[in-house]
Structure 1
Amino acid sequence: MTARQKCSRARVALRCGASTFVLVLTGCGGGGGYDESDAKPSADTPTTVMPAAPVPKSAHSPSPTGTADGTAEAEVLKAYGLMWAERTKAYRAASADGTELKRYTAPDVWSAFETDLARMREARTEMRGELRHQPEVTVLAGAEPPAATVKDCVDRSRWQTLDTTTGWRLPTPHGQPVRYAATAKLERVEGHRWTVTEYTAHTTRPCQGLSGR
């Protein structure tokens, strides 16, 4: 039950399903059956970011910020983490209103997120729970503009889709891994912050980064 959507720009691609994005990319955890404990869940818990693994020095070209690689990596992960937090907030409300998601994404990535949020509103669904992930920088390139690649492992076991009409949590799509891989590309225009220019959720590709956490 996977579908994919590609953004038009060559360097800016957000692949996600249409109606399945709500259940897959955002990661609805939980089982297939309902019981009384499923109805009207309690208040949200915060998104958890696990410590990132160190990046091998061989993955780096000269630092794109003119500082040590460790500082550049920290800046990239901070920007990615801010995007992630705002995206999580938006999917909990099926709306980007009141968030700063647009600030941390390139126009086409922002547009793709907006499209999926609109589908969620049409389907009357919102997300609940905790979406954990463990990002790490795998590439830092000193090109113009400076660029970076982030590899992530997303754990949706505590992240569920709520039908706001009935108040029930929807079951997890059959056959989808609890932990799936994701990749993002970021660029830094001179004098500006790092911005996410591409985000791809590999929702059928399992990952082990959060195993045992």
Structure 2
Amino acid sequence: MTRTVHRKQWRKITLACATAALAVGCTSNEPASPKPPATTPAATTTTAPEPTKTTPPADPAEAAKKEAIATYLSHWKEVEKRYADKTHKAGDLKKYAASAALSQVELDTERMVERNTIAVGKVTVGNPTAVSADINRKIPNVVISSCLDISQWQVLNADTSKPVSLPKERLLRYVIKATVEKWPEGWRVIRDEPQDKKC
């Protein structure tokens, strides 16, 4: 009778262990206690907080250079729109240009109106590089040098859309230097001066 009881208990233990092994594994032939003793404190795991990743503050001069270059590229997009429009009023040029740079575009477009011409195509501002940044003056400024490629820009008669003859010796890719200032309204191109030098 005793052997029968022991066999029944052994089967129960083995069955319990097999069932537990599916969940958490089993390493003992003894049945597990259903609850830990009341005096045993619950196990806790303490994880050290991960060190906070801090981004070093951006260099103000580098940030100014990036903003000035972005403004300069936007300026030329607006110039493209202005020159391609028969009325020469398209684009939001004053958002990106002021002073001598704005006056130069306005003067050019007046001449285009007189000659009944437009300029269509894409202007490429190649390798715009901030060669200096003075951010400590009252009106911060950045000077940018780039290679302006107007080889894809075509001057046409505004009525017939036929190409207008231009001097063959004109430069189609040349170095241009721009000065961009930070005004209360934002960055503005104030000077854009061709250097009469191929690039």
Same-fold status (TM-score > 0.5): yes
Once the two structures are superposed, residues 55-85 of structure 1 have per-residue CA deviations (whole angstroms, 9 ceiling, x without a partner) of xxxxxxxxxxx84443222101111111111
Q: In 2, distance between residues paired with 1:140 and 1:118?
A: 33
Runs of 4+ in 1 over 4 A off after TM superposition: none
> Identity over the aligned pairs, expressed in percent?
26
CA gap of 1:182–1:163, structure 2 versus 1, over 3 A, is: same
TM-score, structure 2 length as denominator?
0.63
Q: Which residue of 2 aligns with 1:140?
A: 133
Q: In 1, distance between residues paired with 2:107 and 2:198?
A: 26
Asked whether the 8 Å contact 2:73–2:125 carries over to 1, the reply is no
Asked whether the 8 Å contact 1:152–1:183 carries over to 2, the reply is yes
Of structures 1 and 2, the larger Rg is shown by 2
Once the two structures are superposed, residues 132-169 of structure 1 have per-residue CA deviations (whole angstroms, 9 ceiling, x without a partner) of 12121111112221111011101122111001243311
Once the two structures are superposed, residues 17-53 of structure 1 have per-residue CA deviations (whole angstroms, 9 ceiling, x without a partner) of xxxxxxxxxxxxxxxxxxxxxxxxxxxxxxxxxxxxx
Q: Which residue of 2 aligns with 1:42?
A: none
Q: Which residue of 2 aligns with 1:45?
A: none
- 2:66 corresponds to which letter in structure 1? A
User: 1 or 2 for the larger relative contact order (CA 8 Å, sep ≥6)?
Assistant: 1
Q: In 2, distance between residues paired with 1:104 and 1:96?
A: 16
Q: Which residue of 2 aligns with 1:123?
A: 115
Can you give the 5+ residue segments of structure 2 that lack an aligned partner in the other structure?
A: 1-57
- Matched ranges for 1:171-210 at <5 A: 171-189=165-183, 191-202=184-195, 204-207=196-199
**Secondary structure of 1:157's aligned partner:** coil
CA gap of 1:148–1:157, structure 2 versus 1, over 3 A, is: same
Shift of 1:126: 0.4
Q: Which residue of 2 aligns with 1:166?
A: 160
Q: In 1, distance between residues paired with 2:86 and 2:174?
A: 22
Q: In 2, distance between residues paired with 1:137 and 1:94?
A: 34
CA gap of 1:181–1:87, structure 2 versus 1, over 3 A, is: same
- Correspondent of 2:75 among 80, 83, 86: 83
TM-score, structure 1 length as denominator?
0.60
- 1:193 corresponds to which letter in structure 2? G
Q: Which residue of 2 aligns with 1:103?
A: 95
Q: In 2, distance between residues paired with 1:148 and 1:182?
A: 14
CA gap of 1:125–1:96, structure 2 versus 1, over 3 A, is: closer
Once the two structures are superposed, residues 185-210 of structure 1 have per-residue CA deviations (whole angstroms, 9 ceiling, x without a partner) of 01113x431111111123x3111xxx
Is 1:92 aligned to 2:92, yes or no?
A: no
Can you give the 5+ residue segments of structure 1 that lack an aligned partner in the other structure?
A: 1-65, 208-213
CA gap of 1:120–1:77, structure 2 versus 1, over 3 A, is: same
Shift of 1:175: 1.4
Instruction: Name the count of aligned residue pairs.
Output: 140
